[in-house]
Structure 1
Amino acid sequence: MNFETYPFEKLSALLENIEPNKDFEPSALTIGEPQFATPLFIQNALKDSSDLLRKYPASAGIPELKEAMINFVSKRFNVKLSKDEIIPTFGTREVLFNFPQFALFDKQNPVMAFTNPFYQIYEGAAIASRAEVIHLDLNSENNFKAILSDDELKRCDLVILNYPNNPTSAKMHIDELALWVKKALEFDFILVNDECYSEIFFDENDKPVSLLEASIKAGNSEFKNVLVMNSISKRSSAPGLRSGFIAGDKHILEEYMKYRTYVGCASPVPLQNAAAVAWNDEVHVQEFRKIYKENFEIAKEILGIQTPQATFYIWLKVEDELEFTKELYKQKNIKVLPGSFLGRNGAGKGYVRIALVENAQKTKEVLKRLKDFIDG
């Protein structure tokens, strides 16, 4: 297998021979990892369960965790899932990588489509599946919304959407997602939405919707050909818990669960107990949203940008993303991620991704530095 170098490795190579300005404290705005302590009640649940390390974890997950995830989907999206319509996973990265391999294994000439720019695990999964790739190019002309012609959709076996979107922060409305559901049924392909940023939003009256909601609106209440994936990492500042799920079409999930018993990616029981507590609580998530909202208010004041509808990313348009990244690091000791490292065939060119995952004080200081650099 010939995998592409990961974006962060490309960034290290780009900046390798550059000496940053030592007058400033190093600031990395590159990785989407919340820089806040995991709430104590989640940490305590993990500590209190440590004696369960003596037990092998079941691939299907403990009942308490699955129930907590079902409750989350019900409270957040008003979708009632049965137990055979959801599987706990070891975060979303592993399922995004191995589900396509499972789904495409029996296809002689598999075709997989996904948003571009993208989370690189999509591409890795396509390579591991020996799949032909069709890119859903996201740009300002299409408002960063996924569009594909019927002729292309007829060829697809699996399509991965990612809304709210990393890196562009774009959001799709329920009618737009419902149209995708109808196409998945019409052309009989599996449709997945990676929803791991669904809980980082700033308008209670305009929350990101789930593909599950759109499936019901499209008249597909059984979620035929429809799956979503979500994770606790962003919403609970707990990426180390590695707690995610895949939910939707129970017939696909029944066979996928058999596959998972061989993969060996079951989460340790103490982590599952802590994750169950986290999935069941919304108060701490609301507190994190307040922090991210404040960060974007600071960004709006300093950089003059509009607050995105979701995620904690700024998708900043620049003239030359590689030169911008190198000079910013050299002059201000700030690291950002060139958009072209996240895309193919020119997608992401002319943009940098900035992750606002620090507290307000640090965010204000580094964005002022960034503004000084932009103003020259």
Structure 2
Amino acid sequence: MNPDLSGLRNSPFVALRTLLDPLEPVKGLKPLALTIGEPQNQPPQFMKDVLQTTDNLYGKYPPVDGTPELREAITGWLNRRYNLKEGMIDPSRHITPVNGTKEALYMLAQIVTNRQGKSGQKPAILIPNPYYHVYHAAAVMAGAEPVFLNATLENNFFPDLETLDEELLERTEAFYLCSPSNPQGTVAGRAYLEKALQLARKHDFMLIMDECYAEIYDKDQPEGILQVLQDLGGDLSNVMAFHSLSKRSSAAGLRSGFIVGEEVTTKTLINLRNFAGAASPLPVCAASAALWNDDSHVIENRKLYQTNIDIAERHLGNRFDFYRPPGGFFLWLNVGNGVEATKKLWTEAAVRVLPGEYLSGTTADGINPGFEYIRVALVFDPDMMDEALSRMANCL
């Protein structure tokens, strides 16, 4: 018996290759790819040193829940970053180190979804639209209905929580929420986070907070869900939050992140990962602990992206509904027709971007909120970004 995969869409990057690979970029210009959120600056040297000095540990099977040192380092960072009271986060009860957050974002939906539904109705998983493609795949494979909630300029690129139908909320099993948002780079404020948490607890669903861009911001440090929870008494019920070293430390290849949240789901996830998850090698755990224990390299990392935003504003600041993204390192530009602009940029400027349509779902009313947009990753050094953004401005 084959599972029903009819609702599973291709990765946006597969769709992009299908669109652009048959087309030739303009001659005489070096092709530049601004499609993937893959930091091009190097992680700090001390990370590499730790990997080298602990390489004898590659011969040992690693524990799926990481090492005590790693969990302590993660807890210490959370306490510093979000000014949490000592003891709110217990490293042995609330932390799950994971081999990259993509796998865990997918796997968590399989845990929290009741396939029979809460009252015999089909379970639903709420997804901001546009969205990170893993959210959609996770919902489909968990047997839930992925429900797209349009996130547009009019609502700060976050779904309107006030208009959600009660019947929908009653069958909701999880709500994926990304702040700073990908691709738009906006930040959910305190009132918004409190409302999302209130709905999760009232209707007993899991609020899955993807905060992997929390350390990449322009001016103001984004508030996190843990700060909201602390101010409400410190109870972690109905919340699982994700963080990663991929963006914070430019260590995407390390495949290291973690989840923090309610104890029951934490333990269930660790149990599932004992059967179906890949544990991080012990040298990776040691290197990750060193990265979470250090904040200075993150400041330098953040300065690079702020410089790139300055360059983008200089080239594009009066066009395409440009705004300085408060968080993350993407531009979300309104070019009228994202697919056509993507083809034009590739064939006439040798710059590869991602159509917003490929990051969005078309809702029942026929609207795709990403149709007019392109996503541009500001991940290269300033000189290369200056070249790429200059080409884009001249081409479009």
Which TM-score band (shorter chain)?
A: over 0.9
Which structure 1 residue ranges, 5 or more long, are not aligned? Answer: none
- Aligned counterpart in structure 2 of residue 353 of structure 1, from 352, 375, 391: 375
Contact 2:180 2:222 in 1 (8 A): yes
Give the corresponding residue for 1:25.
Answer: 30
Q: Distance in 2 between matches of 1:147 and 1:214?
A: 19
Q: TM-score, normalised by structure 2?
A: 0.91
Give the corresponding residue for 1:86.
Answer: 95
Q: Is 1:250 aligned to 2:263, yes or no?
A: yes
- CA shift, 1:106, in A, is 5.4
Q: How many residues align?
A: 371
Decide whether aligned partners of structure 1 residues 293 and 181 sit closer, same or farther in structure 2, where only a CA change above 3 A counts.
same
Show CA shifts across 1:290-330 (max 9, x none): 00000000111111143210000000001111111101100
Alignment of 1:62-211 (within 5 A): 62-79=67-84, 80-83=88-91, 84-105=93-114, 107-108=116-117, 109-148=122-161, 149-151=164-166, 152-203=168-219, 206-211=220-225
Q: Is 1:306 aligned to 2:323, yes or no?
A: yes
Q: Distance in 2 between matches of 1:252 and 1:9?
A: 33
- CA shift, 1:146, in A, is 2.1
- CA shift, 1:36, in A, is 1.0
Give the corresponding residue for 1:222.
Answer: 235
Q: Distance in 2 between matches of 1:302 and 1:73?
A: 37
- CA shift, 1:114, in A, is 1.3
Q: Distance in 2 between matches of 1:98 and 1:252?
A: 12
Show CA shifts across 1:50-97 (max 9, x none): 100111000111111111110110000122411201111111101001
Q: Distance in 2 between matches of 1:170 and 1:155?
A: 28
Give the corresponding residue for 2:340.
Answer: 323
- CA shift, 1:107, in A, is 4.1
Give the corresponding residue for 2:57.
Answer: 52
SS in 2 for 1:157: strand
SS in 2 for 1:30: coil
SS in 2 for 1:64: helix
Q: Is 1:362 aligned to 2:384, yes or no?
A: yes
Q: Distance in 2 between matches of 1:125 and 1:93?
A: 10
Alignment of 1:210-289 (within 5 A): 210-217=224-231, 219-289=232-302
Superposed CA RMSD in Å reads 1.3
Contact 2:349 2:391 in 1 (8 A): yes
Decide whether aligned partners of structure 1 residues 227 and 107 sit closer, same or farther in structure 2, where only a CA change above 3 A counts.
farther
SS in 1 for 2:371: coil
Contact 1:212 1:226 in 2 (8 A): no
Q: Which amino acid aligns with 2:15?
A: K
- CA shift, 1:120, in A, is 0.4
**What's the % identity of the aligned pairs?**
37
Runs (4 or more) in structure 1 with deviation over 6 Å come to none
Q: Is 1:41 aligned to 2:57, yes or no?
A: no
Contact 1:215 1:226 in 2 (8 A): no
Moved more, 355-364 or 106-115: 106-115
Q: Which amino acid aligns with 1:158?
A: A
SS in 1 for 2:147: strand
- CA shift, 1:115, in A, is 1.0
Q: Which amino acid aligns with 1:308?
A: P
Q: Which amino acid aligns with 2:336?
A: E
- Aligned counterpart in structure 2 of residue 342 of structure 1, from 359, 368, 374: 359
Show CA shifts across 1:102-160 (max 9, x none): 11155443211111111101111111101112112111122212223151322211111
Q: Distance in 2 between matches of 1:134 and 1:156?
A: 9
SS in 1 for 2:14: helix
